[in-house]
Amino acid sequence: MNVTEMKESGVVGVLEKPYAIDILETIMSKGKIKPVIGLETGIRYLEFEIYPNWREVVEELIQAKLVEKVIVDMVIACPRCDSIHISTRYHCRYCNSFHILFTEIIQHVICGYIDTKVKFKVENKQLTCPRCGAQLRREGIDYIILGRVFECRSCGRRMDKPEIKHVCRRCGLEFTVREARYKPVYAYRLSSLGEEIISKGLHVRKKLISLLTSLGYQVEENAKFPGYSGIEHSFDILAKGETNSIAIDFIGGGEREASLEILSRTIKALDTGTIKYVVIVRSIPETVKKMVESQGIIVVEGYLYRDIEEKMKKILMS
C-alpha cells in the first residue's frame, strides 16, 4: 500500500485522529495489548489509558483494518449495571436456598444405616452412626461411601446438580446463567496492514512533513530530483530549504529485506550528492549501516515518531 492507496482506503483519516498514531506505536512496541481483569476495577488496558479517547480510536483502527482484536477470555457481567464483580452461588433446585452442601452418602455396614455425612455425629473427631451409636472406623470395612450429592441445608432435599445463579456485588442483582451477560474480552494487535504501515513509516510521514514545513522547507511528496547522471530519482519526501535540501525515503520490512533495499539505494546517494539523503528504516545491522553511511546515506533507525523527529532535527541542524 502506498500513500495514495492509503488515502483511498480511509486509513489516512483515522491516522489524523488525536492519539491514533501513538496508539498504533504502543501496540507495535508491545506486540499485543492485553487486558488486566479485576473484579472491582473491570477490564483495563493499562497501556491505552493515557489516551483519553482510546476506545473510540481503537474501534476506528479496527474498522480501518489496521488493528485486530483477539478473544483472550470471557467474563460474566451484570445484566443491570454491567459490572464484572460477580459471585456465583449454588441454589437448591426445590426451595432456592443457597445454603447447600456437597457431601458424601455413607452406609454404616454394621447396622445398614445410610445417610449423608452431615447426619453422622462427630465425636472426638470421629464419625458416629446416629442409629446404632457406634464409631465409624475404616472406610471399606465398617462403612462405605456410596456416592456424593448436593444436599440442601434448608429443606434437606438432595440433588445431583444445584441451580447456578450469580449475584452482582455492585448493585446486588441476582440473575441466572441465562440472564447473564457473558462477554468476550479482547487483546489488541496490529494487522498485517497495520504492521506494513508502521514499518514503512507511512504513519510518520504526515507529521514529518508538517515538521519540515514549519521549519521553512518547501516540501513535496513522491518528488523527482535529477542526479548528475541525468537520471531522475524519486524520493518519498523532498524538502527544499534556502541553504540545504533534504531527501527522505522510508524502507519497510525486516532487517534482511531492509538491508538489501538500503544497499540498492547507495546509487541514489552517489548520484544526488548535493542533497542530504536520509533513509528511515525500522532497524538494520550495524555493518550494513556503516557500509551505506560511507556511501553518503544518512540512516535513521526507529519507528516511533518522537525518536525519528529527534534524529531528524539533529540532521537538519548539522
CB of 78 or CB of 298, closer to Zn ion: 78
CB of 19 or CB of 94, closer to Zn ion: 94
Please report how close the Cβ of residue 94 comes to Zn ion at its closest, in angstroms.
5
CB of 69 or CB of 119, closer to Zn ion: 119
Q: Which residues of 253-281 are buried (b: 16+ CB within 10 A; e: fewer)?
A: eeeeebbebbeebbebbebbeebbbbbbb
Q: Which residues of 1-18 are buried (b: 16+ CB within 10 A; e: fewer)?
A: eebeebeeeebbebbeee
Residue 254 CA to residue 72 CA, distance in Å, equals 28
Please report how close the Cβ of residue 126 comes to Zn ion at its closest, in angstroms.
13
Please report how close the Cβ of residue 36 comes to Zn ion at its closest, in angstroms.
21
What's the Cα-to-Cα distance from 90 to each of 98, 118, 160, 181, 257, rounded to whole Å? 6, 18, 12, 18, 59
Please report how close the Cβ of residue 124 comes to Zn ion at its closest, in angstroms.
17
Residue 2 CA to residue 193 CA, distance in Å, equals 11
Please report how close the Cβ of residue 156 comes to Zn ion at its closest, in angstroms.
7
What SS3 state is found at 140?
coil
Cell of 142: 465398617
CB of 63 or CB of 154, closer to Zn ion: 154
| Contact (CB, 8 A) for 136 and 129 | yes
| Contact (CB, 8 A) for 262 and 298 | no
CB of 50 or CB of 144, closer to Zn ion: 144
Please report how close the Cβ of residue 90 comes to Zn ion at its closest, in angstroms.
11
CB of 65 or CB of 117, closer to Zn ion: 117
Please report how close the Cβ of residue 49 comes to Zn ion at its closest, in angstroms.
23
- Give residues in contact with Zn ion (CB under 5 A): 78, 80-81, 83, 92, 94-95, 97, 108, 111, 113, 129, 131-132, 152, 154-155, 168, 170-171, 173
> What is the CA angle 6-10-12, rounded to 5?
60
CA 156 to chain centre: 49
CB of 19 or CB of 113, closer to Zn ion: 113
